Structure 1
Amino acid sequence: MLRIAETDGPAGAARRLVDGLDAAALRLARLEGWPRRGAALAAGVAAALAFAPFYALALMAAGFSALVLLLDGAAEDPRPRRAAFAAGWFFGFGYHLVGLYWLAFSFFVQAEEFAWMAPIAVAAMPAFLGLFSGTAAALAVSFRRAGWRRILVFAAAWMILEYARGHVLTGLPWNLPGQALAGTAAGAQSAALYGVYGLSLVALVVAGAPAAFLGAPARSRGAAAKGIAVSVALTGLLFAAGFARLAFPGPGDHDDAFVRIVQPNIPQREKIDPDLWGRNFRLHTELSKGEAPGRLFILWPENAAPLLAEAPAALDILSQELPVNAALLAGSVRREEGADGRWRYYNSLAVVAQTPVGRRAVAYYDKHHLVPFGEYLPFETLLRAVGLAQLAPYDEGFAAGVGPRTLNAGGPSFSPLICYEAIFPGALHPKGERPEWLVAVTNDAWFGDTSGPRQHLDQARLRAIESGLPMARAANTGASALIDARGRYVARLPLYEQGVIDAPLPRALPPTPYARFGDLPFALMLALAAAIGLAGGARRPR
């Protein structure tokens, strides 16, 4: 009788794969110096491919698990915190370089003036954000524990610094790990419980699970495969819970309130050209025509009608062309003269409604969370001295509004968000003034047909899920969408297509746990993860 070799057949191939995974993990943990930093850079690049438009969740798990193993090796370094910071910084640089490369496109809209700044911005932003990931890695190694507990310690340390990234210097909570799950409504449903920061903590535990049973050397044969199986199982549970929530009956639609979302698809150079403002206005108006059986809310994108309140002829056209029962919610720019005689400009949303004397701007919301360098210049005196300027079309930049508002234009009340403001969880409306829906106006034409506008849309979906409020989103070049209170797209227009969405306004859900308690559930989860992670025997770096 012939004896079948252990390495033959499917079983042998599976054993070779298992052994290969363990061996690769061991090699990663043994890297030192620049090879370790290069591997961390590659791991960060891989993890960033989990976000729109790729949604390669397996690469997020590969990237973060690789970083955990690299930190295992850093913990044995003669200077472990320094080695860990370096690995974390290179990971963060690669992660944010891929995640934010699209920022460079905005500098080429007015290339003759700003193109020279693009390489600086593309390198400087990831380099700065890498300080957060480097600090998180050093913190994780400082409190490292052996075995699976180190995954919880790592996730807790990382999320402490991610929370800081979302708040320091006005904050930039872009591409938080949990955002990778927003490619589908099901994957992001648990954000209703604990928000995007809590979802990100869960995502990091799941992503780090493949390294949970590995060490240097691996504790047992097949440790990598065991960790991958745990990661897959946890992912399945997360999505199963999401599908279960989506299966519950929803609140339905309003019978007497409708939205019309206008996507004009105007190239950015033409949008900011004052000579074309009249043409652009007529295009928006033409797309807005048509009756509706109830109260109609017409949404125009960010800066669709600059200085609209100062254009009586334009208001007269709106009086003639728009349905009487329509309220226009138009992205605009307004200005007011201060006591010092200087004009202050505001990036605004104008509420234009029918009055006894025709259509007038009856209310404004002024954007309060401005984009650094895009809408105002931090450290203005210093930076202007070295030749830097903001991208805003006004030399003075924009002034900040007083904060979130809840408005009423007849029918269900709403709270506006302008562009960048939709990336900040928990800052959608004034405390105690919950609206019935959210209005988001934006203009992502600055960033071309890149991942940036798609990532921005995912964050809009997260805000709807977190708050339990439907959102109508009007974007100049897309993607415009009507999103229900569970984050499902009722209707959506693709990027770089002209079009209109006409639909009944979805109803809100009751306030979600996140809407009630904010980041408190995340803080409790963070404390629990840290407590369990630190409960094992100490293994501190020298």
Structure 2
Amino acid sequence: MSRCSELLTRAAEGIRGASGWRRWLISFVAGLAAATALAPLYLLPLMAVGMTVLVLLIDGAAAHSKPGRSAFIAGWFWGFGYFLAGVYWMALSFFVQADQFAWMAPFALAGMPAFLALFTGAAALCCAAFPKTGWARIVFFAGVFALVEYGRGHILTGLPWNLTGQVFAGSAVGAQTAAWYGAYGLSLVAIFLAAAPAAGLEADDKTKPLSGFWVMLGGAALLFAAGAIRLAMPEPQGDARQLVRIVQPNIPQREKIQWSYWAKNFERQMEHSRGAVPPDAQLFIIWPENGAPLLSESPSALEALSEELPENSVLIAGTVRREEAENGEERWYNSIAVVEQEEDRRRITAHYDKHHLVPIGEYLPFYDFLSQIGVAALTPYQDRGFSSGLGPTTLSAGGASFSPMICYEAIFPGASYFKGERPDWLVVATNDAWFGDSSGPRQHLDMARLRAVETGLPMARSANTGVSALIDAKGRILARIPLYQAGKIDAPLPPKLPRTLYDRAGDWPFLLFVLIFLILPFQGKLFARV
């Protein structure tokens, strides 16, 4: 046995045999390591280290008096480390209005990872009940963990943030196969490849400790080769007369939410929106989330838009609007407004209301109870927060159709628009200024890239402080504005592609693959040959 193989085998034995606090520490550190494979570091080998260690810890649970309990705790500590490193930035939002919300930050910092870790703990518990070894356990492990990630993306309104497959979203070539089976399918592949090294580290078979590594490397090579081939395939020609202007004003969050700064903020965005376009061109100007609050109630703002925006332009702006319900209650909506030229002035011709709201951030669930203990929604517009819109929509303006998404909505696979309403392009208006110069905005951009790949549609993403980007229908970032820089992107609108398999079938291919992964390990004769 080579020196490398011997060291790997010894390390695996040590991990399997760890007990007490050492076992939990190993699991926690493995989860932390796995998270570094995501944006902004993209240390992809560490996802393999993290997943392989977790498989070995689950194996080691069999030697404990309560193996299920031991496996669950190992999975929970792994998830706690993974999500602590992956979503720590959520706590930063509570310091924007520190006088009101700073006391909630520690609860968000520890509470969210602790809750999300329940999913990895449950997956580890299920895997511990599977008695087989070798490749059978790796296939079963991947199927279970992918299915649990799918559940995490749907239970309690869902939070599919930092799906394992997102490790491949840092580059267009790695993300291409999402066009076939979506982000969840990409996660299934990523989990299998990352856990594959554990297949050669059997406690009772020390003859081929590197076999799993070769499978992992070969599988990753195939994934990237498939991506390169898809990127090289011919594409439709775009219409050079359709232009986009994506505005990033870089407004500090404290100023963005203060009413006294609204006029100044409006002018900041106007600075980047002016500028003539060719007479035969159609320009789409994109402003970020809440770029023009209460625009429908401001005749002076609409007059300024009428006078100063270029001719043949459509403004697609994040806004906040309010309306009075039948019972007299005032409702507020986080919205996108479409402003077009009609005769001699500009009017709001359509709007979209965000329907997938962020708990605590945009609305307060269990309002009566939480408000009594001092919890409030972060939105400054109303104690209860925003009201929810009716759902995804497709709007038409300037001779093209688009589907708008606001911030958080872009993280959900298969939810960009209703089936049968496929648009020409996607618009994302967001505001990641709540989260500072952290990994959050960068991870958010990667998830938006996956929506473009899944749908085969180009995307214009306007973010208040960044990262704003123009993304083509294969997920290539054609232009971007870095974090905390003001500016604009002027470019032709990329063409859309024919419908992808994922756009046609949704998550059904992924669910079929998961079913296969869960059934195959029970076919003993098949895996006996491996």
2:177 corresponding residue in structure 1: 190
Checking the alignment, whether the CA contact within 8 Å between 1:257 and 1:411 is kept in structure 2 is no
1:228 corresponding residue in structure 2: 213
2:14 corresponding residue in structure 1: 27
The equivalent position to 2:429 in structure 1, one of 412, 420, 441, is 441
Taking a change above 3 Å as real, the CA distance of residues 277 and 74 of structure 1, as seen in their structure-2 partners, is: same
Q: TM-score, normalised by structure 1?
A: 0.95
Greater mean alpha carbon deviation, residues 234-243 or residues 248-257: 248-257
**Following the alignment from structure 1 to structure 2, what is the Cα–Cα distance between the partners of residues 292 and 490?**
20
**Following the alignment from structure 1 to structure 2, what is the Cα–Cα distance between the partners of residues 153 and 141?**
10
Residue 107 of structure 1 and its aligned partner are, at CA, apart by 0.7
Instruction: Tell me the amino acid that sits aligned with residue 254 of structure 1.
Output: D
Checking the alignment, whether the CA contact within 8 Å between 1:19 and 1:222 is kept in structure 2 is no
**Equivalent pairs: percent with the same residue?**
59
1:516 corresponding residue in structure 2: 504
Residue 432 of structure 1 and its aligned partner are, at CA, apart by 0.7
**Following the alignment from structure 1 to structure 2, what is the Cα–Cα distance between the partners of residues 428 and 521?**
18
Residue 537 of structure 1 and its aligned partner are, at CA, apart by 8.0
1:39 corresponding residue in structure 2: 26
**Following the alignment from structure 1 to structure 2, what is the Cα–Cα distance between the partners of residues 147 and 221?**
13
For residues 105-139 of structure 1, give each alpha carbon's deviation from its aligned partner in whole angstroms, at most 9, with x where no partner exists.
Answer: 10111111111110111110011111111000001
Residue 233 of structure 1 and its aligned partner are, at CA, apart by 1.5
2:244 corresponding residue in structure 1: 259
Q: TM-score, normalised by structure 2?
A: 0.97
Instruction: Tell me the amino acid that sits aligned with residue 238 of structure 2.
Output: D
The gaps in structure 2 that reach 5 residues or longer are none
Instruction: Tell me the amino acid that sits aligned with residue 433 of structure 2.
Output: A
* Matches for 1:11-410 after TM superposition, within 5 Å: 15-217=2-204, 219-223=205-209, 225-293=210-278, 294-394=281-381, 395-410=383-398
2:417 counterpart of 1:429: yes
**Following the alignment from structure 1 to structure 2, what is the Cα–Cα distance between the partners of residues 163 and 518?**
13
**Following the alignment from structure 2 to structure 1, what is the Cα–Cα distance between the partners of residues 47 and 236?**
35
Residue 405 of structure 1 and its aligned partner are, at CA, apart by 0.6
**Following the alignment from structure 1 to structure 2, what is the Cα–Cα distance between the partners of residues 249 and 334?**
43
Greater mean alpha carbon deviation, residues 207-216 or residues 431-440: 207-216
**Following the alignment from structure 2 to structure 1, what is the Cα–Cα distance between the partners of residues 258 and 356?**
25
Q: What is the CA RMSD across the aligned residues, in angstroms?
A: 1.4
2:448 corresponding residue in structure 1: 460
**Following the alignment from structure 2 to structure 1, what is the Cα–Cα distance between the partners of residues 330 and 79?**
41
Checking the alignment, whether the CA contact within 8 Å between 1:444 and 1:476 is kept in structure 2 is yes
Checking the alignment, whether the CA contact within 8 Å between 1:30 and 1:216 is kept in structure 2 is no
2:493 corresponding residue in structure 1: 505
2:407 counterpart of 1:419: yes
Checking the alignment, whether the CA contact within 8 Å between 2:182 and 2:507 is kept in structure 1 is yes
Aligned structure 1 segments of 4 or more residues deviating by more than 6 angstroms: none
Checking the alignment, whether the CA contact within 8 Å between 2:200 and 2:208 is kept in structure 1 is no
For residues 261-293 of structure 1, give each alpha carbon's deviation from its aligned partner in whole angstroms, at most 9, with x where no partner exists.
Answer: 000001100111100100110111121011223
1:3 corresponding residue in structure 2: none
**Following the alignment from structure 2 to structure 1, what is the Cα–Cα distance between the partners of residues 74 and 420?**
44
**Following the alignment from structure 1 to structure 2, what is the Cα–Cα distance between the partners of residues 255 and 41?**
51
Instruction: Tell me the amino acid that sits aligned with residue 166 of structure 1.
Output: G
SS, match of residue 314 in structure 1: helix
**Following the alignment from structure 1 to structure 2, what is the Cα–Cα distance between the partners of residues 506 and 68?**
43
For residues 198-225 of structure 1, give each alpha carbon's deviation from its aligned partner in whole angstroms, at most 9, with x where no partner exists.
Answer: 00000000000110122224x12341x2
SS, match of residue 287 in structure 2: strand
Residue 340 of structure 1 and its aligned partner are, at CA, apart by 1.9
Checking the alignment, whether the CA contact within 8 Å between 2:367 and 2:384 is kept in structure 1 is no
Instruction: Tell me the amino acid that sits aligned with residue 151 of structure 1.
Output: I
